[in-house]
Structure 1
């Protein structure tokens, strides 16, 4: 026979409560708290591990830096990080092509045009705002003032940058890459203009001409692949039933790619740890560079902080009325990946995965906008390029006039579209800006010397702009869907006919059977974006 529970003396006036009941309640509360803690850790395991990987990488790199490793040993130390980059780059091609084809095919032409128009307007406006912010900070902070004595030799920087490309050829190459002559080659090569010197002797007068010739350089032509994927998706949509088979194949390919991405994400913390650690080990005399180019580094990072921490969140809040930092909190893993890899393209797989699972963004929106944004939306790069142009102008004691400032704004916005989403991809595009405003390009090596510092915040701002753009488009799409749903509800008023009475209801009310709704009156599920 079980011993009955005894009441506590202080609870005599509450006879229904027993010590056993209180203990059981306490245990249940503890169990509930433990379950919530376990659930939180499971849900945010990758985020916690990724942030820990960055912190451990900093400590590991600092410790290994004092061991004076040889070049070969540094290569071995960086191997796990190199493997992460190779995994992420491996998945970019199928992810971009399949996601854009399935995304474009899931939207009708009208929706695609409206969605694309909003995205292009967002990308253009935010990039222009970023460029304007960088120029304003450049004139306020004056990072190049008093830096005229700096040169590459004094800082021990190797000058290996070739910047003899004409501005017009740079923009023509951008247009050529939009239309790749060979789709297979576009997966690993892109078009670039080179020059051949041609000397002529006419009646004793020697003239030298530089003739542009086309060459293929290593690097994926992602701009051409993006355009082709969009066009193919629209074409498959136009085919109707005949194109559905291929659309389903691309959808399945896309989902399988995202499964592979989820596997790769578990390796991200390890790869990031060694990427950050190896970069700290490899860097040169950081104290000398920071003291010499500190104002430029400060101005660039401050521009990224203002644009990424104030301007972009305000734009998101203005359109959605929601807390932007709650939205960004779900994207810590992609931001850490962007910081470690300095590559917008390499961050794309983790960004798509997290923005769909953590923030609930529609797959059709995220897989349509994010690949395009990773290619053409470079807010951080625009800040970095404009700041570098102002820095080099001030270093050479050049006073920029209104025309030159306008040229910097336009050229930086346009050239950021063609900037490769790879580490140090934006450095060479600065040459286009410098050529356009008539400044020397021989000081670009100074920018490249500290690019590994600035490029990390640059990439974070780039991917943040893409993510918030996807969030804005998702909100507008949901709002439009709700509006259309409300209009349908206004037209078809639900009314249950009174079967027991012969009395008529109002002729304005359309009766519908609740059990079997006619297909013509049933509101279809959202198979297409309504934007």
Structure 2
């Protein structure tokens, strides 16, 4: 008789629900379980930098020629720019259609003076991608400089003599396999980590509102149309736009891909971090979605850093919501 085993994404969903209930009902005892979330996040962050380095170096060194790398890089950047633009346009469409900020009671009653607007130009951002000190960038979780160095290192592996290239390729491929084995172990504790994270966050929100669930519901009611707009935009982008791109541009089954990445999606929802979920995403797309390592190791670390469609859509809606709430009410063109 085949032994029944609940799928990992189902375990995570159950852990998420259990965490919410625990945080609401047993708020004073959350301190006894929140350590599970802390351990889980620390374990994920522990493997992010090493995994990014070895996966990119291994993948880029397998790509080979500069022309092949340039084509892959060009297609990747084009895709990221396209999907981010579509996400922003989707957010603009729904926030102007629903207009959630008009008449919204945000509870903002105090004017704030003395805020300074500090910005970084695009040129400065590009310059900062080049790390002055790689180890400092690694210690401070500055992922773009790490990616930049790894891309260069992987590319120049292909430029050295054959005997040296083979040694380095074998080393980084072996290191990548070790990191994936370590990641698989961390994946096993994901439900416990999600439970601890959700229980802690729910308890923290209740504590901030004096343990009054009614206050939380009132706040949710005040921002209800805003949340509905964001969720509607995200749903259309994730369930309509991206599947259409997968089907007609990528030529793959959206349902097959969705089933393959269910665990990373649920984990990302629970942790609110695409970067923390990167190890799970790499494992899912390679072992369940059939994507080659040389593609995934190049595109995913870069995408987790710069291709944040949900963030782009959310920030667009948030900016428009605040403008509408203050009576500015910009039109679609603005």
In the superposition, the TM-score normalised over structure 2's length comes to: 0.90
- Tell me how far 1:322 sits from its aligned partner: 3.5
- Tell me how far 1:46 sits from its aligned partner: 2.6
Deviations 1:31-89 (A, max 9, x none): xxx44xx3xx45x6433322322232223223213xxx2xxx64443111111000001
Distance in 2 (CA, whole Å) between partners of 1:186 and 1:282 is 31
- The equivalent residue for 1:139 is 96
Q: Higher helix fraction: Structure 1 or Structure 2?
A: 2
Which of 270, 284, 296 pairs up with 1:340?
Answer: 270
Which of 45, 53, 60 pairs up with 2:15?
Answer: 53
Asked if 1:120 is matched to 2:50, the reply is: no
- The equivalent residue for 1:358 is 288
- The equivalent residue for 2:133 is 182
Distance in 2 (CA, whole Å) between partners of 1:338 and 1:170 is 30
- The equivalent residue for 1:231 is 152
Q: Is the 8 A contact 2:105 2:222 kept in 1?
A: no
Which of 188, 206, 217 pairs up with 1:287?
Answer: 217
SS in 2 for 1:337: helix
- Tell me how far 1:265 sits from its aligned partner: 0.8
Distance in 1 (CA, whole Å) between partners of 2:249 and 2:53 is 29
SS in 1 for 2:131: coil
- The equivalent residue for 1:79 is 35
Deviations 1:92-141 (A, max 9, x none): 00011110111111002211111111111110001000001101111111
Gaps of 5+ in 1: 1-33, 190-219, 406-531
In the superposition, the TM-score normalised over structure 1's length comes to: 0.58
Distance in 2 (CA, whole Å) between partners of 1:84 and 1:58 is 18
Of structures 1 and 2, the one scoring higher in RCO (CA 8 A, sep 6+) is: 2
Deviations 1:485-524 (A, max 9, x none): xxxxxxxxxxxxxxxxxxxxxxxxxxxxxxxxxxxxxxxx
Deviations 1:286-341 (A, max 9, x none): 21211111111111111111101111011101124443022111222111110111
- Tell me how far 1:163 sits from its aligned partner: 5.8
- The equivalent residue for 2:303 is 373
SS in 2 for 1:344: coil
Q: Is the 8 A contact 1:54 1:336 kept in 2?
A: no
User: What are the residue-to-residue correspondences of 1:144-163 with 2, within 5 Å?
Assistant: 144-147=101-104, 150-151=107-108
- The equivalent residue for 1:318 is 248
Question: Cα–Cα, structure 1 residues 295 and 274, in superposed 2: closer, same or farther, change >3 Å?
Answer: same
- The equivalent residue for 1:93 is 49
- Tell me how far 1:277 sits from its aligned partner: 1.7
- The equivalent residue for 1:244 is 166
- Tell me how far 1:260 sits from its aligned partner: 0.3
* Runs of 4+ off more than 6 Å: none
Question: Cα–Cα, structure 1 residues 163 and 135, in superposed 2: closer, same or farther, change >3 Å?
Answer: farther
- The equivalent residue for 2:325 is 395
SS in 1 for 2:158: helix
Count of residue correspondences: 324
Distance in 2 (CA, whole Å) between partners of 1:296 and 1:170 is 30
Question: Cα–Cα, structure 1 residues 149 and 114, in superposed 2: closer, same or farther, change >3 Å?
Answer: closer
Q: Is the 8 A contact 1:334 1:351 kept in 2?
A: yes
Distance in 2 (CA, whole Å) between partners of 1:46 and 1:350 is 12
When the two chains are superposed, the root-mean-square deviation of aligned CA atoms in Å is 2.3
User: What are the residue-to-residue correspondences of 1:102-113 with 2, within 5 Å?
Assistant: 102-108=58-64, 109-113=66-70
Question: Cα–Cα, structure 1 residues 305 and 163, in superposed 2: closer, same or farther, change >3 Å?
Answer: farther
Report the structure number with the largest CA radius of gyration.
1
- Tell me how far 1:399 sits from its aligned partner: 3.9
Q: Is the 8 A contact 1:276 1:340 kept in 2?
A: yes
Q: Higher strand fraction: Structure 1 or Structure 2?
A: 1
Distance in 2 (CA, whole Å) between partners of 1:342 and 1:373 is 15
Q: Is the 8 A contact 1:148 1:396 kept in 2?
A: no
Gaps of 5+ in 2: 210-214
- The equivalent residue for 1:198 is none
Distance in 1 (CA, whole Å) between partners of 2:81 and 2:322 is 25
SS in 2 for 1:301: helix
